[in-house]
Amino acid sequence: MHPPISLIWFFLTAGVSIGLFTFTYFMEFLILFGKNTAMPRQAVIISLVISLILIGLGAIGASFHLGHKMRAWKAIKRFHTSWLSREAVFSGVYGFVLFLYGLAYYFNANPFIQHSLGILTFVLGWLSAFSTAMIYASNKFVLEWNTSLTVLYYLNMYLMLGSSAFLSLTYFYRPEFIPTYLFLTFLFVSLGLAFRIAFNIRQFIIPRPTINEALNLPHNRPIRVLDTGTTTNNYCTEEFYYKKGKDLLGSVLPVAYILTFIVPLFLIVYAWITGNYNYNFFKIAFASLVLGSFLERWCFFVEGNHVQNLFYGLYPEEGYRLRKGYMERKKTVIRL
């Protein structure tokens, strides 16, 4: 699939925004249970402002994906069936309620109002993240994405970005929480690595349809594409098969792995074991995570193969070879 930069941008901005808010509010929430986790006002306000700016920038960036930006509001109309509609509603309302929570916090509103708004923001943020993940995971025709792994992995990435961003706040405002957030970041990055590896391995074992299935013709005969009725690339071949990206994937994927997982894990484990809490480590770990996640999302799109590529002879064939025995046993009606 062709990777839309605007959607990758939305992933990063919304991810840091929702992740950061989650940990910021989590610390506030724990106070309710008598825990001494209050962050200084300044830290909370900085974090809320960053979250708000990021979700705003995310929404603006994502609108560049649309053909008609001025009609974007219409995307709320099919909330009952469309995950994209749900994403638009939840992320929009998340931004709005986040703003209200910020005001309530800033003006020291009644704690009940503060916490109600805080919990609501948290829920809306995660519903928005879940809806975004479901846009991909619910697509039956991109088999690489069509799995609950996509959702788990996606939500974990938000936690990964959020905890590593929050690490910087603890460094400046509550250093005694650094080990906790080092651990959380370590946990989420490690889980992310595990999910990523599982995602990659899965691509080799999913049973794939073949061109014979697409054309509903006998399974035991080879079919070749002679002509696709078009002399140049068209929307289908550009959108669903991104040749330049496929060629680059082999080089980009290892870099994405290194930047997203290996570099941050190395720095975090080093800081953790040696107790050397150098701010540069945290800065580099976060920057590496963001840059790596950008590349990782790019790979996620390019790795996705839409089944319509079968008609153009551009679908991976591994599945066919793996499934050959199965395919031949399948009862077929010979029609040609």
Partner 1 sequence: MAQFALVIDLNTCVGCHACATNCKEWNTQAAFGPLSDFDPYGKEPQGVWYNRIMTYEMGEFPNTQVFHLPKSCLHCQDAPCVPVCPTGASYKREQDGIVLVNYDDCIGCKLCSWSCPYGCREFDEADKVMKKCTLCIDRIYDESLPPEHRKPACVLTCPAKARFFGDIEDPNSEVYRVIKERNGFVLFSDAGTNPGNHYLPRTETKVHVDEHLLKHDNPLFLEVLRRHHVGG
Closer CB to partner 1, 231 or 280, in the complex: 231
Name the token pair of 302: 């390019």
Shortest separation between residue 6's beta carbon and partner 1, angstroms = 11
Contact (Cβ atoms closer than 8 angstroms) between residue 183 and residue 273: no
Shortest separation between residue 183's beta carbon and partner 1, angstroms = 38
Most distant CA pair in the chain: distance in Å? 76
Closer CB to partner 1, 13 or 309, in the complex: 309
Shortest separation between residue 289's beta carbon and partner 1, angstroms = 28
Contacts of 103 (CB under 8 A, 6+ apart): 109
Continuous segment of H or E residues that includes residue 50: helix 41-63
Shortest separation between residue 172's beta carbon and partner 1, angstroms = 40
Gap between the Cα atoms of 170 and 55, Å rounded: 22
Closer CB to partner 1, 35 or 221, in the complex: 221
20-30 b/e (C-beta count within 10 Å ≥ 16 → b): bbbbbbebbbe
Closer CB to partner 1, 190 or 239, in the complex: 239
Name the token pair of 94: 């998340």
Gap between the Cα atoms of 197 and 157, Å rounded: 14
Residue 142's beta-bridge partner residues? 306
Continuous segment of H or E residues that includes residue 222: none
Contact (Cβ atoms closer than 8 angstroms) between residue 2 and residue 314: no
Closer CB to partner 1, 223 or 287, in the complex: 223
Closer CB to partner 1, 180 or 308, in the complex: 308
142 phi and psi angles, rounded to 5 deg? -120, 95
Q: Is 142 helix (H, G, I), strand (E, B) or coil?
A: strand
Shortest separation between residue 22's beta carbon and partner 1, angstroms = 26
Shortest separation between residue 9's beta carbon and partner 1, angstroms = 15
Gap between the Cα atoms of 140 and 222, Å rounded: 25
Closer CB to partner 1, 16 or 211, in the complex: 211
Name the token pair of 292: 């790596």
Q: Interface with partner 1 by CB under 8 A: which residues?
A: 1, 65-69, 71-72, 74-78, 81-85, 88, 135, 139-142, 209, 211, 213-217, 221-236, 238-240, 306-309, 311-312, 334-336
Shortest separation between residue 313's beta carbon and partner 1, angstroms = 9
